[in-house]
């Protein structure tokens, strides 16, 4: 079976006002049809950058090296026309904060229907019908079809974006913080819908979120990024419950448990400054903040190591950390 | 204008929304925050002064970086503009005409424009001495066209500038202040759009007495309406953006919202609109002058008018009519090509990628 | 348009600053003390309602009767279903939306909607918008975005230091690195932090934050929440935090109000509401949390609510698990659930339990919660 997505040693460097920013520094991923991958990590570690690269949506002038193969085709070598076609039918991305990119002066059903008309050649009426159907699947009643974006709440707009991504039956869906504005009930409904699609149509899913419990619930595998690299990858429930990499552990530990008196009025984060991509620490880039760092962490090159069958972590102390 | 009711515009988010301004619609195609935002840098700082207020005094070193960014943005603009053949042709024509016009004192003598100082004979046909022949008193048509360009271009540019400024102010006010102000301004705009511009301009010039200034004022007063209309639509779209709400929540008044947020975002549109406006102003000036309403200075329209009244057509003096006519055509074409090319660069949707 | 006197006036900013409505607890590091119900509320809403016209001649009752008090130094979490009116309520409290009915008052006097009064009000009360991507002007650098509030209110001294300080507090370090960056060059979480920094830089007395940490990872999230707590302890900052994340409420909030279809259906101290939820909707929300105090996860059936079709009787009744399972029937309130409208919860906090005769206001003691549910009233009034 050809994998839906294969990313090989992807490196991405932005050139912007802050100089060169190596946002992604060597990432490899592979998704077969039906695979679901959760991607978590520090804010600014490069998750959205990876997502953008898959459809070549990064700003002009950004350095991208490595290989991205989408359903057998090399994305970096694709012609523009081909890319356009792939952008809806091959893979679709729900972007972070995309709810504000809805056209403010067009009714939402039209906006959902537009890619269906363009890529599936349905008539405008049939496409709108399908759009209304999709809307009801994400919990928006039919009369909302005639709303303008400003008449919707944040979560409702986010659901419009999700409906739009599902519109063209893509082979790969990337959802970047797509459920941040949804309450647990609607979120569960949307996640169930996505899971059902993954199972029925055998598509692949990459879900980016800060909410590890959402990822553990929706995805079979979980990957954690830090400073542009994968630091852990493994079966999601196990990574969630018992991560190997100290950063991944900190992530799940920082999750508050309602009812736990120790966490009442006591939010805690991770000590130290977030990494500055243009001046990364030597050795393991997590070492200045790592609670269990050793001397050699500051110098050694740390690559992903096998922690267990099907489970890797980039830490010198993979075996010990528990 | 700052009565309680208008100030908060509680109706801003309700029905009255902008019509789809071409620029806004991201065509619902791939909803990307990344690629969507990127064109903003290209068109953004190329033409705005951006938001640097008092606080930048301390950011001295930073200022140079800001300028470097602007230069980069301009370079980005140029990169996209350069690939457009028509736009480059228009720009080339404009540069050539500007040079010819500005350098005129170096290679030709203005005094030859006086009838008493005419160098040639009556209505001579083109020759090596007088490339475009001479007029009824023996002046070189070429010299007349070259010097006439100064007036034509001046009137065109100033009138367009005035019209666009007026249109922008009225359009912004109509969008920003709801209620009766908006209603009144829009009725006024509609009225000016349906009125035949030329007739109105003629009436104005006759009423005020023909002169260069009157012509400029008349053209500006009759051609702001179309700008006002697009600016209003665009302003409404910009005002629907959450960052205006954020500014409002920070306590920003109308002035701050307009100058810091709306105007900079309108600039690309306004600039493209201004470029197109120049062509119509030049045409309007030529028409008015042709009808004998021009001032004493010689413009292309005036040359045409004199040719006509001197019976150039009946004597078959084509060289008298053709050069000023072609000059007008060329300049109008050049400005239109530039304006269209700018629209394409500044409006990602027309770019087609 | 140019006649906006307020902006052109060379304001003496210190005077212009709105006075704190109540003496702030300077040394009050003990939040329990600060909001024991004795301090006068800084910000309050009375019978607030906001309606919108929706397509097809419908009327969306986005906020439909809300009473709310915020006391100095108090952190209030506002939770509820997507589309239940949280953002609309937040915007109305800030004067960005005019209420259809009811009033917002600040420091004891009703909010005035003149440009001048609003400007003064907004110096003291800051909003963090829900969607950080749209909330930043793509043509303004991070520095300009954060300094915007200072410039509007003419705080000219130390602008650069203030901006740098706000940015680094919000977790963007080193701040100078971000000064000249444009929003599109930032990650989603970084944008969110710029918006938070822009609100902090004015040193407000109240922050109303709409999902402030939704796109932040656990570590930055903890940092920002800790910052809000610190500001509260040190400066007496009060905050309303709109969130879907009950963990966040547990982490920082003193009180929580749960909204459903434009109304607050349960309100009370976080320790109480999240450990012993009384309203069936709150119970459902709490039930899906990991290690939930509610034993069985509740799955709500039925259509998601619609602000244009508010059901009669209890507005939650079409989806209520208590009604569906027959428990309400047993308690003899099933009819009331379907037919009898519940009164709007009043904002009166802290009533001794013995005065809880009025079913709408049933309060269970000093740490009690107030709830709008026939079943809860029936079962509390006559404990089995
Ligand atoms: N267009 C750009 N130019 C320069 N730098 C950029 C650009 N876009 C992103 N960056 C930087 O690259 C890094 C990675 O950004 P990215 O958006 O991928 O983060 P992320 O993992 O998605 O974070 P978040 O969870 O906060 O959304 C950040 O430091 C960001 O500031
Ligand atoms: N301008 C408007 N016109 C019509 N209806 C509106 C308008 N603004 C909001 N609404 C409706 O009012 C209701 C409440 O919206 P609001 O944005 O307050 O919800 P919310 O609680 O913030 O939801 P979310 O968590 O999804 O952001 C929604 O049903 C929405 O569709
Ligand atoms: S390699 Fe060292 S510094 Fe890095 S995570 Fe492991 S123990 Fe910590
Ligand atoms: S009043 Fe009745 S229907 Fe409403 S929440 Fe309570 S038990 Fe459920
Ligand atoms: Mg991101
Ligand atoms: Mg909201």
What is residue B347's predicted lDDT score, i.e. its pLDDT? 64
- With respect to residue B42, please indicate whether it lies within any of the assigned structural domains: no
Least confident of B31-40, C192-201, C284-293: B31-40
Yes or no: say if B177 and B260 are a contact pair by the CB < 8 Å rule: no
**Angle in degrees, 0-180, between the axes of helices B197-208 and B263-290, rounded to the nearest 10:** 70
Is there a single domain that holds both residue C100 and residue C215? yes
Closest approach of A106 to chain C, Cα-based (Å): 13
Average pLDDT, stretch C248-276? 93
Residues of chain B numbered 247-266 and touching chain C (CB < 8 Å): 247-256, 258, 260-261, 264-265
Is there a single domain that holds both residue C173 and residue C241? yes
Is there a single domain that holds both residue C219 and residue C318? no
What is residue C56's predicted lDDT score, i.e. its pLDDT? 82
Residues 6+ apart with CB under 8 A from C136: B243, B246, C145, C183, C191, C194, C195
Work out the angle at residue A289's Cα, subtended by the Cα atoms of residues A288 and A295, and round it to the nearest 5 degrees: 45
Q: Are B17 and A80 in contact (CB < 8 Å)?
A: no
What is residue C18's predicted lDDT score, i.e. its pLDDT? 44
Is the Cβ atom of A229 under 6 angstroms away from ligand 1?
no
Choice between A183 and C162, residue whose per-residue pLDDT is larger: C162
- With respect to residue B212, please indicate whether it lies within any of the assigned structural domains: yes
Yes or no: say if C63 and C117 are a contact pair by the CB < 8 Å rule: no
What is residue B39's predicted lDDT score, i.e. its pLDDT? 32
For residue C169, give its domain range: 40-259
Is the Cβ atom of C317 under 6 angstroms away from ligand 4?
yes
Whether pLDDT at B151 is above 80: yes
What is the domain count for chain C?
A: 2
pLDDT tens readout for residues B300-316 = 888 888 888 877 777 77
Per-residue pLDDT band for B41 (boundaries 50, 70, 90) equals very low
Yes or no: say if C52 and C59 are a contact pair by the CB < 8 Å rule: yes
Q: Which among C122, C179, C184 has CB closest to B251?
A: C122
- With respect to residue C115, please indicate whether it lies within any of the assigned structural domains: yes
Residue of A12, A172, A154 whose CA lies nearest to A97: A154
What is residue C369's predicted lDDT score, i.e. its pLDDT? 82
Using CA coordinates, name the residue in chain A closest to C135: A100
Tokens standing for residue A149: 């974006």
What is residue C367's predicted lDDT score, i.e. its pLDDT? 57
Is there a single domain that holds both residue C92 and residue C124? yes
Residues of A in contact with B241 (CB under 8 A): 100
d(CA A93, CA A162): 9
- With respect to residue B51, please indicate whether it lies within any of the assigned structural domains: no
Ligand 4 atom showing the smallest separation from residue C374 Cα: 1
B128 touches A at CB < 8 Å: no
Is there a single domain that holds both residue C206 and residue C70? yes
Whether pLDDT at B21 is above 50: no
Query: How many Cβ pairs within 8 Å bridge chains A and C?
Result: 212
Whether pLDDT at B158 is above 90: yes
What is residue A6's predicted lDDT score, i.e. its pLDDT? 94
Query: Which class for A115: exposed (0-12), middle (13-18), buried (19 or more C-beta within 10 A)?
Result: buried
Is the Cβ atom of A252 under 6 angstroms away from ligand 2?
no
What is residue B61's predicted lDDT score, i.e. its pLDDT? 55
Whether pLDDT at B268 is above 50: yes
Is there a single domain that holds both residue C352 and residue C212? no
* pLDDT > 90 in chain B, percent: 16
What is residue C37's predicted lDDT score, i.e. its pLDDT? 52
pLDDT tens readout for residues C51-73 = 999 888 889 999 999 999 999 99
Name the domain boundary from C259, C289, C312: C259
Residues 6+ apart with CB under 8 A from A38: A206, A207, A208, A209, A212, A214, A215, A216, A218, A219, A221, A222, A223, A236
Per-residue pLDDT band for C38 (boundaries 50, 70, 90) equals low
Core vs surface per residue B197-234: b (16+ CB within 10 A) or e: bbeebbebbeeeebebebbbbbbbbbbbbbbbbbbbbb
Ligand 3 atom showing the smallest separation from residue A297 Cα: 2
Average pLDDT, stretch C128-142? 88
Computed over every residue of chain C, the mean pLDDT equals: 82
Is there a single domain that holds both residue C255 and residue C287? no
Residue of A150, B65, B239, B169 whose CA lies nearest to C137: B239
CATH code of the domain in which C83 resides: 3.40.50.300
Tokens standing for residue A203: 């598509």
Tokens standing for residue C358: 């009025």
Using CA coordinates, name the residue in chain A closest to B23: A103
Task: Render B18-63 in DSSP notation, one character per residue.
Answer: ----TTT--TT-S--HHHHHHHHHHHHTTS---S--GGGGG-HHHH
Is there a single domain that holds both residue C247 and residue C289? no
d(CA A312, CA A223): 9
Is there a single domain that holds both residue C312 and residue C212? no
Yes or no: say if B181 and B174 are a contact pair by the CB < 8 Å rule: yes
A136 touches C at CB < 8 Å: no
What is residue B14's predicted lDDT score, i.e. its pLDDT? 34
- With respect to residue C4, please indicate whether it lies within any of the assigned structural domains: no
Per-residue pLDDT band for B59 (boundaries 50, 70, 90) equals very low
Q: Which residues surround ligand 6, an ion (CB under 5 A)?
A: A 153-154; C 87, 130
Per-residue pLDDT band for C271 (boundaries 50, 70, 90) equals very high
Whether pLDDT at B122 is above 50: yes
What is residue C191's predicted lDDT score, i.e. its pLDDT? 92
Residues 6+ apart with CB under 8 A from C211: A154, A180, A181, C130, C242, C243, C244
Whether pLDDT at C226 is above 50: yes
Average pLDDT, stretch B248-274? 88
Whether pLDDT at C167 is above 80: yes
Average pLDDT, stretch C214-239? 87
- With respect to residue C13, please indicate whether it lies within any of the assigned structural domains: no
Average pLDDT, stretch B281-301? 84
Model pTM score: 0.82
Average pLDDT, stretch B213-228? 89
Using CA coordinates, name the residue in chain B closest to C203: B250
What is residue C90's predicted lDDT score, i.e. its pLDDT? 95
What is the domain count for chain B?
A: 1
- Phi, psi angle pair for A135, to nearest 5°: -60, -40
Is the Cβ atom of C343 under 6 angstroms away from ligand 1?
no
- With respect to residue C338, please indicate whether it lies within any of the assigned structural domains: yes
Is there a single domain that holds both residue C250 and residue C335? no
What is residue A28's predicted lDDT score, i.e. its pLDDT? 94
Going by CA atoms, what residue is nearest to atom 1 of ligand 3? A315
What is residue B36's predicted lDDT score, i.e. its pLDDT? 32
Going by CA atoms, what residue is nearest to atom 5 of ligand 3? A315
* Residue C133 host element (H or E): helix C132-135
- What does the longest C-alpha to C-alpha distance in chain A come to? 66
- With respect to residue B1, please indicate whether it lies within any of the assigned structural domains: no
- With respect to residue C12, please indicate whether it lies within any of the assigned structural domains: no
Bond into C174 cis (ω within 30): yes
What is residue C262's predicted lDDT score, i.e. its pLDDT? 93
Is there a single domain that holds both residue C236 and residue C102? yes
Q: Name the percent of chain C in helix, strand, coil, to the closest 5.
A: 40, 20, 45
What is residue B350's predicted lDDT score, i.e. its pLDDT? 53
- With respect to residue B39, please indicate whether it lies within any of the assigned structural domains: no
Cross-strand bridge partners of residue B15: none
Sign of CA dihedral B145, B149, B150, B155: positive
What is residue C95's predicted lDDT score, i.e. its pLDDT? 93
Q: How far is the CA of C314 from the centre of ligand 2 (A)?
A: 21
Average pLDDT, stretch C197-216? 91
d(CA C223, CA B217): 61
Closest approach of B236 to chain A, Cα-based (Å): 10
Q: Rg of the Cα trace of chain C?
A: 22
- With respect to residue C346, please indicate whether it lies within any of the assigned structural domains: yes
Residue of A154, A155, A146 whose CA lies nearest to A111: A146
Choice between B352 and A278, residue whose per-residue pLDDT is larger: A278
Whether pLDDT at B33 is above 70: no
- With respect to residue B336, please indicate whether it lies within any of the assigned structural domains: yes
Is there a single domain that holds both residue C252 and residue C286? no
Tokens standing for residue A137: 């699947």
Core vs surface per residue C201-223: b (16+ CB within 10 A) or e: bbbbbbbbbbbbbbbbbbbbbbb
Ligand that lies nearest to the alpha carbon of residue A295, given by its number in the listed order: 3
Going by CA atoms, what residue is nearest to atom 14 of ligand 1? A46
- With respect to residue C317, please indicate whether it lies within any of the assigned structural domains: yes
What is residue B202's predicted lDDT score, i.e. its pLDDT? 86
What is residue A17's predicted lDDT score, i.e. its pLDDT? 73
The three-class DSSP label of residue A152 is coil
Residue of C329, C332, C343 whose CA lies nearest to C373: C343
Yes or no: say if A23 and A277 are a contact pair by the CB < 8 Å rule: yes
Average pLDDT, stretch B52-68? 52
- With respect to residue C10, please indicate whether it lies within any of the assigned structural domains: no
d(CA A189, CA A303): 38
d(CA B91, CA B76): 17
d(CA C273, CA C271): 6
What is residue B349's predicted lDDT score, i.e. its pLDDT? 52
Residue with tokens 């429930």: A237
Least confident of A4-13, A18-27, B197-206, B242-251: B197-206
Closest approach of C222 to chain B, Cα-based (Å): 24
CA separation (Å) from B145 to B135, B290, B319? 12, 14, 11
- With respect to residue B222, please indicate whether it lies within any of the assigned structural domains: yes
> What are chain A's domains?
5-90+168-321 (3.40.50.300)
Regions of chain A where pLDDT drops below 50 = none
For residue B184, give its domain range: 84-109+132-351
What is residue B162's predicted lDDT score, i.e. its pLDDT? 94
pLDDT tens readout for residues C337-373 = 998 888 888 876 544 444 444 444 444 444 578 899 9
- With respect to residue B97, please indicate whether it lies within any of the assigned structural domains: yes
CATH code of the domain in which B286 resides: 1.10.3720.10
Residue of C272, C277, C379 whose CA lies nearest to C331: C379
């Amino acid at each position: 079976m050809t994998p839906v997505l294969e990313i090989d040693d992807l490196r991405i460097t932005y050139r912007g006002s802050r100089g060169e920013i190596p946002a992604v520094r060597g990432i490899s991923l592979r998704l077969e049809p039906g695979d679901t991958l959760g991607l978590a990590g520090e804010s600014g570690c490069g998750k959205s950058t990876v997502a953008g690269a898959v459809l070549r949506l990064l700003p002009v002038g950004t350095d991208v090296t490595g290989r991205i193969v989408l359903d057998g085709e090399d994305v970096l070598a694709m012609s523009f026309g081909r890319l356009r076609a792939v952008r809806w039918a091959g893979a679709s991305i729900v972007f972070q904060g995309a709810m504000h990119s809805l056209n403010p002066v067009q009714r939402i059903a039209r906006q959902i229907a537009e890619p269906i008309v363009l890529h599936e050649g349905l008539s405008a009426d049939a496409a709108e019908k399908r759009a209304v159907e999709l809307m009801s699947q994400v919990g928006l009643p039919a009369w909302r079809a005639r709303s303008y974006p400003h008449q919707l709440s944040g979560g409702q707009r986010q659901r419009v974006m999700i409906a739009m991504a599902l519109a063209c039956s893509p082979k790969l869906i990337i959802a970047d913080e797509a459920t941040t504005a949804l309450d647990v009930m609607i979120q569960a409904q949307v996640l169930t819908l996505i899971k059902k699609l993954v199972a029925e149509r055998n598509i692949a899913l990459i879900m980016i979120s800060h909410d590890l419990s959402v990822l553990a619930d929706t995805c079979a595998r979980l990957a954690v990024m830090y400073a542009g690299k994968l630091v852990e990858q493994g079966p999601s429930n196990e990574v969630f419950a018992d991560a190997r990499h100290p950063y991944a552990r900190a992530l799940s530990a920082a999750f508050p448990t309602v009812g736990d008196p120790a966490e009442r009025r006591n939010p805690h984060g991770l000590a130290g400054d977030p990494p500055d991509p243009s001046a990364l620490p030597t050795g393991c880039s997590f070492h200045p903040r790592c609670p269990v760092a050793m001397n050699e962490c500051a110098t050694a090159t740390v690559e992903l190591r096998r922690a267990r069958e099907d489970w890797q972590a980039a830490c010198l102390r993979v075996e010990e950390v528990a | 204008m700052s009565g309680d009711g208008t100030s908060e515009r509680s109706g801003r988010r309700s029905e009255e929304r902008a019509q789809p301004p071409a620029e806004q619609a991201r065509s619902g195609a791939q909803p990307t925050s990344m690629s969507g935002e990127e064109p903003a840098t290209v068109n953004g700082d190329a033409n705005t002064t951006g938001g640097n207020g008092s606080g930048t005094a301390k950011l001295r070193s930073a200022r140079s970086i800001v300028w470097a960014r602007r230069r980069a943005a301009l370079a980005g603009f140029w990169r996209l503009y350069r690939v457009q053949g028509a736009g480059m042709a228009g720009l080339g024509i404009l540069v050539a005409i500007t040079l010819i016009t500005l350098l005129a004192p170096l290679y030709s003598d203005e005094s030859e424009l006086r009838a008493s100082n005419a160098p040639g004979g009556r209505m001579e046909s083109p020759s090596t001495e007088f490339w475009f022949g001479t007029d009824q008193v023996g002046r070189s048509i070429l010299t007349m066209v070259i010097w006439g360009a100064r007036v034509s271009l001046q009137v065109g540019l100033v009138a367009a500038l005035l019209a666009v400024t007026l249109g922008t102010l009225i359009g912004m006010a109509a969008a920003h202040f709801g209620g009766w102000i908006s209603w009144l301004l829009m009725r006024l705009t509609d009225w000016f759009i349906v009125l035949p511009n030329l007739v109105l301009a003629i009436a104005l010039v006759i009423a005020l007495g023909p002169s260069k200034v009157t012509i400029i004022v008349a053209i500006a007063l009759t051609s702001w309406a179309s700008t006002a209309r697009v600016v209003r639509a665009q302003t409404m779209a910009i005002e629907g953006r959450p960052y205006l709400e954020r500014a409002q929540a920070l306590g920003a008044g109308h002035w701050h919202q307009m100058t810091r947020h709306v105007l900079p975002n309108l600039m690309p549109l306004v600039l493209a609109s201004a470029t197109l406006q120049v062509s119509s102003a030049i045409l309007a000036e030529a028409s008015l002058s042709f009808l004998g309403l021009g001032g004493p200075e010689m413009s292309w329209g005036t040359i045409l008018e004199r040719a006509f009244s001197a019976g150039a057509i009946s004597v078959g003096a084509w060289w008298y009519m053709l050069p000023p006519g072609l000059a007008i055509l060329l300049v109008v074409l050049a400005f239109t090509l530039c304006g269209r090319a700018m629209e394409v660069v500044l409006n990602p949707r027309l770019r087609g990628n | 348009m140019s006649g906006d006197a307020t902006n052109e006036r060379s304001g003496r900013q210190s005077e212009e600053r709105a006075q704190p409505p109540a003496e702030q607890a300077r040394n009050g590091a003990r939040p329990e003390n600060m909001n024991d119900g004795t301090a006068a509320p800084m910000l309050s809403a009375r019978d607030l309602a906001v309606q919108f016209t929706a397509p097809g001649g419908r009327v969306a009752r986005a906020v439909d009767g809300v009473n709310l008090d915020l006391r100095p130094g108090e952190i209030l979490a506002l939770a509820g279903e997507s589309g239940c009116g949280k953002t609309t309520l937040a915007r109305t409290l800030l004067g960005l939306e005019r209420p259809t009915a009811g009033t917002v008052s600040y420091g004891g006097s009703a909010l005035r909607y003149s440009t001048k009064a609003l400007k003064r009000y907004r110096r003291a009360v800051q909003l963090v918008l829900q969607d950080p991507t749209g909330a930043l002007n793509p043509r303004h650098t991070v520095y300009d975005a954060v300094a915007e509030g200072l410039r509007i209110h003419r705080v000219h001294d130390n602008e650069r230091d203030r901006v740098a300080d706000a940015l680094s507090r919000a977790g963007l370090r080193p701040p100078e690195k971000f000064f000249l960056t444009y929003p599109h060059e930032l990650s989603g979480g970084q944008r969110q932090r710029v918006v938070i920094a822009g609100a902090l830089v004015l040193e407000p007395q109240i922050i109303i934050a709409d999902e402030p940490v939704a796109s932040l990872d656990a570590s930055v999230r903890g940092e920002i929440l800790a910052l809000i707590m610190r500001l509260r302890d040190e400066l007496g900052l009060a905050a309303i935090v709109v969130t879907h994340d009950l963990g966040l409420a547990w982490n920082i909030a003193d009180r929580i109000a749960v909204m459903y279809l434009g109304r607050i259906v349960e309100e009370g101290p976080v320790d109480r509401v999240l450990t012993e939820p009384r309203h069936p909707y709150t119970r459902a929300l709490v039930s899906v949390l990991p290690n939930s105090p509610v034993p069985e996860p509740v799955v709500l059936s039925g259509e998601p609510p619609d602000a244009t079709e508010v059901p009669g009787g209890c507005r939650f009744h079409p989806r209520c698990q208590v009604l569906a399972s027959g428990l309400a029937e047993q308690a003899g309130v099933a009819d009331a659930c379907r037919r009898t409208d519940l009164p709007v919860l009043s904002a009166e906090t802290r009533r001794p339990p013995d005065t809880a005769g009025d079913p709408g206001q049933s309060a269970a003691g000093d740490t009690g919660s107030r709830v709008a549910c026939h079943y809860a009233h029936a079962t509390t009034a006559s404990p089995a």
